[in-house]
Amino acid sequence: MLITSIMVGSSLQSDEGMWTLDNLPKKNLEEKYNFKFSDKWLKNAQLASVRFNDGGSGAFVSPKGLVLTNHHVAMGQLQKMSTKKADYVKEGFFTKELKEEKKCPDLELNILVSMEDVTKKVVNASTNENTDKVKNEKRKEEIAKIEKASSDKTGLRSDVVELYDGGEYWLYRYKKYTDVRLVMAPELQAASFGGDPDNFNYPRFALDFAFFRVYENDKPIDSKNYFKWSKNGAKEDELVFVFGHPGSTERQKTMSQISFQKDYSFPEYVKLLKYKLNLFRQYGEKGKEEKRRAKDYILGMENSLKAIEGELNGLKDKKILAAMQEREDKLQKLVIENPELKKDFGDVWNRIDSIQKKMISRHKEFYYRSASNAKLVGIAIKLVRYASEIQKPNEKRYEEYRDSNLESLKFRLLSPAPIYADIEEMMIENSLHLAVENLGREDEFVKLALADKSPKYLAKALLTKTKLMDVSQRKELLSGGLEAIHKSKDPLILWALQIDPILRKDRDWYDDEIESVQAIEGNKLSQLKFKAYGKSTYPDATFTLRMSYGTVKGFTDDSTIQIPFKTTYYGLFDRAESFDNKDPFTLATKIAENKSVINMSKPLNFITTNDITGGNSGSPVINRKGEYVGLIFDGNSYSHVLSYAYTDDKARAVSVHSEGIIEALRSVYKMEKLVREIIGE
Amino acid sequence: MLITSIMVGSSLQSDEGMWTLDNLPKKNLEEKYNFKFSDKWLKNAQLASVRFNDGGSGAFVSPKGLVLTNHHVAMGQLQKMSTKKADYVKEGFFTKELKEEKKCPDLELNILVSMEDVTKKVVNASTNENTDKVKNEKRKEEIAKIEKASSDKTGLRSDVVELYDGGEYWLYRYKKYTDVRLVMAPELQAASFGGDPDNFNYPRFALDFAFFRVYENDKPIDSKNYFKWSKNGAKEDELVFVFGHPGSTERQKTMSQISFQKDYSFPEYVKLLKYKLNLFRQYGEKGKEEKRRAKDYILGMENSLKAIEGELNGLKDKKILAAMQEREDKLQKLVIENPELKKDFGDVWNRIDSIQKKMISRHKEFYYRSASNAKLVGIAIKLVRYASEIQKPNEKRYEEYRDSNLESLKFRLLSPAPIYADIEEMMIENSLHLAVENLGREDEFVKLALADKSPKYLAKALLTKTKLMDVSQRKELLSGGLEAIHKSKDPLILWALQIDPILRKDRDWYDDEIESVQAIEGNKLSQLKFKAYGKSTYPDATFTLRMSYGTVKGFTDDSTIQIPFKTTYYGLFDRAESFDNKDPFTLATKIAENKSVINMSKPLNFITTNDITGGNSGSPVINRKGEYVGLIFDGNSYSHVLSYAYTDDKARAVSVHSEGIIEALRSVYKMEKLVREIIGE
Helices (runs of H) and strands (runs of E) counted in chain B = 26, 20
- Spell A140-178 as b/e; 16+ CB within 10 A means b: bbbbbbbbbebbeeeebbbbbbbbbbbbbbbbbbbbbbb
Residue B596: closest C-alpha in chain A: A596
Nearest one of B571, B542, B541, B563 to B642, comparing CA atoms: B541
Which residues in chain A have Cβ-Cβ distances shorter than 8 Å to B573? Answer: 568, 570, 600-601
Q: What is the mean pLDDT of residues B598-604?
A: 98
By Cβ distance, the residue of A559, A567, A578 closest to B567 is: A578
Instruction: In whole angstroms, give the CA distance from residue A400 to residue A386.
Output: 9
* Full 3-state SS string of A577-630: HHCCCCCCCCCCHHHHHCHHHCCCCCEEEEEECCCCCCCCCCCEEECCCCCEEE
- pLDDT value for B536: 82
Which residues in chain B have Cβ-Cβ distances shorter than 8 Å to A573? Answer: 568, 570, 600-601
Q: What is the mean pLDDT of residues B585-608?
A: 98
Nearest one of B100, B36, B108, B99 to B73, comparing CA atoms: B108
Helix (H, G, I), strand (E, B) or coil at A212: strand
Q: Tell whether the model's pLDDT for residue B670 goes beyond 70.
A: yes
Helices (runs of H) and strands (runs of E) counted in chain A = 26, 20
- Residue B554, number of CB atoms within 10 A of its CB: 19
- Residue A86, number of CB atoms within 10 A of its CB: 11
Contact B674, B184 (CB under 8 A): yes
By Cβ distance, the residue of A566, A578, A579 closest to B578 is: A566
Which residues in chain B have Cβ-Cβ distances shorter than 8 Å to A198? Answer: 562
Instruction: In whole angstroms, give the CA distance from residue A580 to residue A586.
Output: 8
Sheet holding A620-622, edge to edge: A546-551, A239-244, A620-622, A628-635, A653-657, A603-608, A566-568
Chain A contacts to B (CB-CB under 8 A): 197-198, 200-201, 203, 236, 306, 557-562, 564-568, 570-571, 573-575, 577-580, 585, 600-601, 603, 637
Chain A: closest CA distance from residue B497 (Å): 45
Read off the DSSP letter of residue A396. Answer: G
Amino acid in position A515: E
Of residues B1 and A652, the one with the higher pLDDT is A652
Instruction: In whole angstroms, give the CA distance from residue B357 to residue B351.
Output: 10
- pLDDT value for B319: 84
- pLDDT value for B13: 67
pLDDT tens for B426-457 read: 999 999 999 999 999 999 999 999 999 999 99
Residues 6+ apart with CB under 8 A from B153: none
Burial of B276 from C-beta contacts in 10 A (0-12 / 13-18 / 19+): buried
Cα angle A123, A171, A53 (rounded to 5 degrees) comes to 125
- pLDDT value for A228: 98
Which residues in chain B have Cβ-Cβ distances shorter than 8 Å to A579? Answer: 562, 564
Q: What is the mean pLDDT of residues A583-594?
A: 98
Q: What is the mean pLDDT of residues B530-545?
A: 90
pLDDT tens for A67-76 read: 999 999 999 9
Q: What is the mean pLDDT of residues A478-490?
A: 96
DSSP letters along A553-572, please? --EEETTTEEEPSEEEHHHH
Cβ–Cβ of B570/A577 closer than 8 Å? yes
User: Cα-Cα-Cα-Cα dihedral of B125, B130, B134, B138, to 10°?
Assistant: 0
Half-sphere exposure of B357 (CA within 13 A, CB side): 6
Q: Tell whether the model's pLDDT for residue B1 goes beyond 60.
A: no
Which residues in chain B have Cβ-Cβ distances shorter than 8 Å to A561? Answer: 197, 201, 637
Instruction: In whole angstroms, give the CA distance from residue A300 to residue A283.
Output: 15
What are the CA-CA distances from residue B298 to residues B71, B192, B266, B586 (Å)? Answer: 15, 13, 19, 18
Residue B657 main-chain phi, psi, to 5 deg: -75, 140
- pLDDT value for B3: 24
Cβ–Cβ of B236/A580 closer than 8 Å? yes
Cβ–Cβ of B570/A571 closer than 8 Å? yes
- Spell B437-465 as b/e; 16+ CB within 10 A means b: ebbeeebebbebbbeeeebeebbeebbee
Q: What is the mean pLDDT of residues B60-86?
A: 97
pLDDT tens for B501-512 read: 999 999 999 999
Burial of B419 from C-beta contacts in 10 A (0-12 / 13-18 / 19+): middle
Q: Tell whether the model's pLDDT for residue A14 goes beyond 90.
A: no
Q: Tell whether the model's pLDDT for residue B246 goes beyond 80.
A: yes
Instruction: In whole angstroms, give the CA distance from residue A186 to residue A130.
Output: 57
Query: Is residue B564 very low, low, confident or very high in pLDDT (cuts 50, 70, 90)?
Result: very high
Q: Tell whether the model's pLDDT for residue A458 goes beyond 90.
A: yes
- Chain mean pLDDT for chain B: 94
- Spell A549-559 as b/e; 16+ CB within 10 A means b: bbbbbbbebee
Chain B: closest CA distance from residue A197 (Å): 6
- pLDDT value for B549: 97
Cβ–Cβ of A559/B197 closer than 8 Å? no
* Range of weakest confidence among A239-253, A412-426, A520-534: A520-534
What is the torsional sign of CA B261, B267, B271, B273?
A: positive
N-term to C-term CA, chain A: 47
Query: Is residue A9 very low, low, confident or very high in pLDDT (cuts 50, 70, 90)?
Result: very low
pTM, to two decimals: 0.93
Q: What is the mean pLDDT of residues A425-452?
A: 96
- Residue B81, number of CB atoms within 10 A of its CB: 22
Nearest one of B260, B430, B436 to B361, comparing CA atoms: B260
Contact B105, B81 (CB under 8 A): yes
Residue B205: closest C-alpha in chain A: A574
Query: Is residue A11 very low, low, confident or very high in pLDDT (cuts 50, 70, 90)?
Result: low
Instruction: In whole angstroms, give the CA distance from residue A429 to residue A371.
Output: 9
Instruction: In whole angstroms, give the CA distance from residue B175 to residue B214.
Output: 12
Instruction: In whole angstroms, give the CA distance from residue A210 to residue A69.
Output: 6
pLDDT tens for A315-365 read: 888 888 898 999 899 999 999 999 999 999 999 999 999 999 999 999 999
- Residue A508, number of CB atoms within 10 A of its CB: 12
What are the CA-CA distances from residue A362 to residues A268, A359, A368, A432, A448 (Å)? Answer: 12, 5, 10, 18, 18
Instruction: In whole angstroms, give the CA distance from residue A443 to residue A370.
Output: 12
Cβ–Cβ of A560/B203 closer than 8 Å? no
Instruction: In whole angstroms, give the CA distance from residue B644 to residue A517.
Output: 57
Q: Tell whether the model's pLDDT for residue B2 goes beyond 60.
A: no
Q: Tell whether the model's pLDDT for residue B27 goes beyond 70.
A: yes
- pLDDT value for B11: 56
Cβ–Cβ of B573/A570 closer than 8 Å? yes
Contact A184, A98 (CB under 8 A): no
Nearest one of B347, B362, B186 to B268, comparing CA atoms: B362
Query: Is residue A681 very low, low, confident or very high in pLDDT (cuts 50, 70, 90)?
Result: confident
Percent of chain B with pLDDT over 70: 98
Residue A554: closest C-alpha in chain B: B579
Of residues A681 and B124, the one with the higher pLDDT is B124
Cβ–Cβ of B571/A574 closer than 8 Å? yes
pLDDT tens for A28-47 read: 999 999 999 999 999 999 99
**Integer Rg of chain A from CA:** 25
Percent of chain A with pLDDT over 70: 98
Contact A344, A524 (CB under 8 A): yes
DSSP letters along A39-70, please? HHHHHHHHHHEEEETTTEEEEE-STTSEEEE-
- pLDDT value for A10: 47
Residue B602: closest C-alpha in chain A: A577
Instruction: In whole angstroms, give the CA distance from residue B613 to residue B246.
Output: 5
Q: Tell whether the model's pLDDT for residue A371 goes beyond 90.
A: no
- pLDDT value for A13: 67
B584 preceded by a cis bond (ω within 30 of 0): yes
DSSP letters along A332-343, please? HHHHHH-HHHHH
* Range of weakest confidence among A206-210, A369-373, B225-229: A369-373
Nearest one of A242, A332, A329 to A615, comparing CA atoms: A242
Contact B188, B624 (CB under 8 A): no
- Chain mean pLDDT for chain A: 94
